[in-house]
Amino acid sequence: MTPELPISQAIAEAAQAVRRRSQVTPAIAIITGSGLGPLADEVEAAITIPYRDIPHFPESTVAGHSGALVLGHIAGQTVVVMRGRLHFYEGYPPQAVTFPVRVMHALGARTLFVTNAAGGINPGFQVGDLMLIRDHLFLPGMAGWHPLRGPNDDTLGPRFPSTLGAYDQGLRDLARQKAAEQGLTLREGVYAMVAGPSFETPAEIRFLRLAGADAVGMSTAPEVIVARHAGLRVLGMSLITNIASDDSDAAPLLGEAGHLEVLEAAQAAVPRLTRLARAMIEGIGSTE
């Protein structure tokens, strides 16, 4: 983002650049989490626009996140998919992390379906579980790293947006119904966002569990806040890619093992998540 430019102008310029490449007016915006980029392969008649071709878009830098917007259709619905999201830990300020959400809203999206990879905190969770997000703990936001900090542009949303019902009740009902139809176990819980990039210490995991968290990750909350600010309905889903250890005497993971574990678990779950996502996307139109 160019800091001196008014945010509304930056959004308009980015949306205009996307419209020049694709005529699709997306009803649903989708953000794919770590290793879940293959969801973007579901898009039919896809137009792929690398982030670097869109003015004011930051570049995604993490392995497993090749950054592009993909526009087209999934299950009869018009969609825009962020293949690869931006993270606070990459060095972007929260305003940059959430800029694409504002652009997808400007393109026409009225629903955000956000996915992520997360560590399981709830003792009942297993690797590979899908968790519908009921609510979140936005730790960086509570500490001041908040995407709506600074002057508010009233054309984008209110100064003090409510976060009650941020994770839409109707969309959660739909997700439960579709999961049941597919014979798929769907967990539900509170997602805690931490800044990363280090994984949590066991003491931090115990702290988060006491605070009511069922899963922990390094994304999602800022995008959801900005989506709600813009009036988008939100559906959030975590894939539990690892169990976060609460044992301070546990053996250390070596090198990149932590992130590789996340990507491997994500890869294994992609077919299941894709099937559920397709059914939900198909059904989202009928809940509006």
Element (H, E) at 47: strand 44-50
Distance from chain centroid for Cα 47: 21
CB of 89 to ligand HPA, least distance (A): 10
Cβ atoms of 115 and 39 closer than 8 Å: yes
Backbone angles phi, psi at 200, to 5 degrees: -70, 150
State whether residue 264 is helix, strand or coil: helix
- 197 preceded by a cis bond (ω within 30 of 0): yes
CB of 84 to ligand HPA, least distance (A): 15
Polymer length in residues for the chain: 288
To ligand HPA, the closest distance from the beta carbon of 170 in angstroms equals 28
Nearer to ligand HPA, 90 or 200 (CB): 200
Question: Cβ-closest residue to ligand HPA?
Answer: 119
In the complex with ligand HPA, the residue whose CB is nearer, 189 or 217, is 217
For ligand HPA, the closer CB: 119 or 157: 119
Which CB, 230 or 266, lies closer to ligand HPA?
266
For residues 115 and 241, which CB has a smaller minimum distance to ligand HPA in the complex? 241
DSSP-derived secondary structure for 75-142: TTEEEEEEES---GGGT--HHHHTHHHHHHHHTT--EEEEEEEEEE-STT--TT-EEEEEEEEEHHHH
**Nearer to ligand HPA (CB atom), residue 11 or residue 208:** 208
Tell me which residues touch ligand HPA (CB under 6 A). Answer: 117-119, 199-200, 216-218, 241-242, 244, 262
Minimum distance from residue 109 beta carbon to ligand HPA (Å)? 25
Residues annotated as part of the active site: 34, 65, 87, 89-90, 117, 218-219, 242, 259
Nearest distance from residue 8's CB to ligand HPA, in Å? Answer: 33
Give the span between the Cα atoms of 278 and 69, in whole angstroms. 18
**Of the candidates 57, 62, 105, the residue with the CA atom closest to the CA atom of residue 80:** 105
Q: How many CA atoms lie within 13 A of 29 on its CB side?
A: 29
Two tokens, residue 277: 């996502």
Q: Which residues contact 251 (CB under 8 A, 6 or more apart)?
A: none
DSSP state, residue 151: -
In the complex, minimum distance from the CB of residue 264 to ligand HPA, in angstroms, rounded to a whole number: 12
